Chain A
Amino acid sequence: SQQGEEDPQALSIQEGENATMNCSYKTSINNLQWYRQNSGRGLVHLILIRSNEREKHSGRLRVTLDTSKKSSSLLITASRAADTASYFCATDGSGGYQKVTFGIGTKLQVIP
């Protein structure tokens, strides 16, 4: 299965701290994406990193990609209570760009 695995599965931090989530996947990819899902809501796209990129920033988000290790990390700096959500990595693969497989997710709790 292409499904990625996030690590840790649950993370609890204080507001203002940084949160790091990791994702590992199994086969070659064209790109890797990170999504956020608030409880009872749909997924919100955060950032996309292409297989030829190693690092990407967007606001308080920093994503790295290591294709040799088939892994990615998402760093949220200066976390806020509003960042409390589940975070999923998503990869495409041999099935094409549209055949996206989501990892098992990290549930992040930011305590005010």
Chain B
Amino acid sequence: DTEVTQTPKHLVMGMTNKKSLKCEQHMGHRAMYWYKQKAKKPPELMFVYSYEKLSINESVPSRFSPECPNSSLLNLHLHALQPEDSALYLCASSQVDGNQPQHFGDGTRLSIL
């Protein structure tokens, strides 16, 4: 069992749908991350929140909209996605201080029809 919980585990959506991915942690971490991972590839950083504020946006298209409503929750709102956005979306959390490991959830496998 992981300490970072992601829901749903699987999501199939059409290109016109709006959906949200959710991530929750109760380790007291104040940094939270979204990654995208395509098959047989490494995770790619999308967004980082520190103290509930967006600190890094890796030039992600606006059809992905992150939100950090409190220190335990992280959402990723999806709208008008493209088939190439199909991937495993991973959430992670860590202490904000330097040199800290990241704790990952098991991800949401997203398929865009």
Q: Footprint of B on A, CB under 8 Å? A: 3, 30-31, 33, 35, 40-45, 48, 50, 88, 95, 97-105
- Check B33–A48 contact: CB distance below 8 A: no
Say which one of B60-68, B71-79, B98-106 lies at the interface with A: B98-106
Q: Footprint of A on B, CB under 8 Å? A: 2, 4, 31, 33, 41-45, 48, 50, 55-56, 90, 92, 94, 96-107
- Check A99–B42 contact: CB distance below 8 A: no
Of the residues B45, B50, B96, contact of A100 by C-beta under 8 Å = B45
- Check A105–B106 contact: CB distance below 8 A: no
- Check A42–B56 contact: CB distance below 8 A: no
- Check B101–A99 contact: CB distance below 8 A: no
A63 to chain B, nearest CB (A): 13
- Check B41–A99 contact: CB distance below 8 A: no
Apart from the given pairs A42-B4, A95-B56, A98-B94, 17 other A-B contacts in the complex at a CB distance below 8 Å: A30-B98, A33-B101, A35-B104, A42-B107, A43-B43, A44-B104, A45-B103, A88-B42, A97-B97, A98-B31, A98-B33, A98-B48, A99-B56, A100-B45, A102-B42, A102-B43, A104-B42
Of the residues A40, A45, A88, A101, contact of B101 by C-beta under 8 Å = A45
**In whole angstroms, how far apart are the Cα atoms of A98 and B49 in the complex?**
9
**A30, A33, A102: most-surrounded residue (chain B CB, <10 A):** A102
Contacts of B45 in A (CB 8 A): 99-101
Of the residues A3, A88, A97, contact of B99 by C-beta under 8 Å = A97
Contacts of A97 in B (CB 8 A): 97-100
**A50, A97, A103: most-surrounded residue (chain B CB, <10 A):** A97
Contacts of B55 in A (CB 8 A): 98
**In whole angstroms, how far apart are the Cα atoms of A100 and B90 in the complex?**
14
A-B contact pairs, 21 of them (CB 8 A): A42-B2, A42-B4, A42-B90, A43-B102, A45-B103, A48-B101, A50-B99, A88-B43, A95-B56, A97-B100, A98-B31, A98-B33, A98-B94, A99-B45, A100-B45, A101-B45, A102-B42, A102-B43, A103-B42, A104-B42, A105-B42
**In whole angstroms, how far apart are the Cα atoms of A44 and B105 in the complex?**
9
